[in-house]
């Protein structure tokens, strides 16, 4: 029997990005539909009961909205794809400065299908990202950041931690401000916001400086072992890498530029930047308590996403008709592409069961304690006064 635990958040992100890559290279509705099915199935079986686990629905809605917006846009701006006419709206030509564009006009079934395919692709990419959001613990993700981003990661952890305090603080200040009069007159509401914002901010800064003092006193930000030369190397790598990326990006876009400046240059730039990034992390001399481990389930989950991406890339590379099917006939798929997508469903079997309130160690205090207003410790009134 597999022990419930949280899978490493990075593994989920790799898996999800793999699926998103598949979605981004095709508009084939069969493949996209399969991808949606895979992502939904994995989310439903592997998510825990934390607040972020519930975000998947939101992404599904955003996905649906994307498709609708795509179609509405097509209707609004009209098109010129001939085919089966669905409806015909009166065309409104815009003035000359608008490049002769006209709004509305006839709308065909083919146009609808084309808009749907495009929208579906974007929606699938979004929903894949949403799956990662629902599955990966954001706080642990921040803690798993590479050492060079330690400060930024800590800032994010501090920010995520402060948010609930801010909400509490705002509620408290709002109550306290009722003890004085309310703002009157025009713009009173915005001025009322000031009465809450200022004490909350002051309070938050006071707390944050206390927190900073606490972190400092406990050794946060100790000087690492990096030498002067190492730091120079870091800088050179980063700058060189960015230059490379800059050239590479331009060359990718300008298809008349020498191809050597595109792909290879971009790759070299990225490599240098990554090396610089790793080198920047060496100044950090910290260790991690019970660091999130990469065991075989993590590798398997990450690999399933990567394999899906690579397989589909290869399968679709020389099949433009399958990758971007036309709007007239029915789309077709090959076995290789379908298998490629289906590899992504592997986490259903390899990922450990998610942590829930029921199976968490110490069953519950973390989730229940907030509901319990009184710390259950001991009776207030001791039977005998203890002499100090």
Q: Taking CB under 8 A as the rule, does residue 25 contact another protein? A: yes
Q: 33, 49, 85, 194: which one contacts another protein (CB under 8 A)?
A: 194
Q: Taking CB under 8 A as the rule, does residue 288 contact another protein? A: yes
Q: Taking CB under 8 A as the rule, does residue 182 contact another protein? A: yes
In this complex, which beta carbon is closest to another protein, that of residue 127 or of residue 301?
127
What tokens does 81 get?
């794809």
Q: Taking CB under 8 A as the rule, does residue 298 contact another protein? A: no
Stretch that binds another protein, among 38-46, 121-129, 296-304, 311-319 (CB under 8 A): 121-129
Q: Taking CB under 8 A as the rule, does residue 319 contact another protein? A: no
What dihedral angle (degrees, nearest 10) is formed by the CA atoms of 266, 270, 273, 279? -150
Helix 9-24, helix 29-46: angle, nearest 10: 170
- Other CB atoms within a 10 A radius of the CB of residue 369 amount to 11
The answer to whether the CB of 74 falls within 8 A of the CB of 111 is yes
Q: What is the footprint of another protein within residues 30-89 (CB under 8 A)?
A: 52, 55, 58-59, 62, 69-70, 73-74, 77-81
- Other CB atoms within a 10 A radius of the CB of residue 114 amount to 20
Q: Taking CB under 8 A as the rule, does residue 277 contact another protein? A: yes
Q: Taking CB under 8 A as the rule, does residue 353 contact another protein? A: no
Question: Which long-range CB contacts under 8 A does 326-334 form with residues at least 24 apart?
Answer: 327/81, 327/83, 327/110, 327/111, 327/113, 327/114, 327/117, 328/83, 328/110, 331/28, 331/29, 331/30, 333/28, 333/30, 333/31
Q: 90, 229, 289, 330: which one contacts another protein (CB under 8 A)?
A: 289
- Size of site (CB under 8 A) for another protein: 160
Q: What is the footprint of another protein within residues 246-265 (CB under 8 A)?
A: 246, 249-250, 252-256
From CA 63, how far away is CA 70, in angstroms rounded?
11
Stretch that binds another protein, among 29-37, 285-293, 303-311, 329-337 (CB under 8 A): 285-293
Stretch that binds another protein, among 41-49, 210-218, 333-341, 347-355 (CB under 8 A): 210-218
């Amino acid at each position: 029997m597999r022990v419930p635990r949280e899978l490493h958040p990075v593994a989920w992100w790799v898996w999800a990005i793999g699926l998103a890559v598949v979605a981004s290279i095709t508009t084939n509705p069969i493949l996209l539909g399969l991808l949606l099915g895979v992502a939904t199935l994995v989310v439903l079986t592997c998510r825990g009961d934390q607040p972020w686990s519930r975000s998947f629905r939101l992404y599904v809605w955003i996905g649906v909205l994307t498709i609708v917006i795509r179609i509405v846009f097509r209707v609004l701006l009209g098109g010129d794809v001939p085919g089966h006419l669905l409806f015909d709206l009166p065309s409104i030509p815009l003035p000359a400065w608008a490049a002769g564009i006209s709004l509305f006009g006839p709308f065909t079934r083919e146009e609808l299908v084309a808009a749907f395919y495009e929208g579906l692709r974007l929606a699938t990419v979004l929903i894949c990202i949403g799956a990662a959001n629902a599955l990966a613990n954001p706080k642990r993700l921040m803690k798993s950041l590479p050492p060079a981003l330690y400060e930024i990661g800590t800032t994010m952890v501090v920010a995520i931690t402060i948010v609930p305090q801010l909400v509490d603080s705002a509620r408290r200040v709002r109550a306290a401000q009722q003890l004085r009069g309310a703002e009157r007159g025009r713009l009173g509401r915005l001025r009322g916001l000031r009465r809450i914002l200022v004490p909350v901010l002051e309070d938050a800064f006071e707390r944050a400086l206390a927190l900073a003092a606490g972190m400092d006193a406990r050794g946060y930000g100790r000087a690492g072992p990096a030498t002067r030369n190492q730091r120079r190397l870091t800088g050179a790598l980063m700058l060189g890498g960015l230059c490379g990326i800059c050239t590479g990006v331009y060359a990718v876009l300008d298809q008349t530029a020498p191809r050597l400046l595109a792909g290879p240059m971009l790759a070299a730039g990225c490599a240098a930047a990554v090396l610089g990034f790793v080198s920047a992390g060496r100044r950090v001399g910290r260790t991690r308590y019970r660091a999130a481990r990469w065991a075989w389930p993590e590798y398997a989950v990450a690999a399933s996403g990567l394999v899906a991406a690579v397989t589909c890339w290869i399968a679709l590379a020389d099949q433009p008709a399958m990758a971007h099917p036309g709007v007239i006939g029915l789309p077709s798929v090959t076995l290789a592409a379908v298998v490629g997508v289906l590899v992504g469903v592997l986490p259903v079997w390899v990922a450990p069961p998610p942590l829930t309130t029921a199976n968490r160690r110490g069953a519950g205090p973390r989730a229940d304690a907030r509901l319990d207003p009184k710390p259950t410790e001991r009776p207030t009134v001791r039977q005998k006064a203890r002499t100090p």
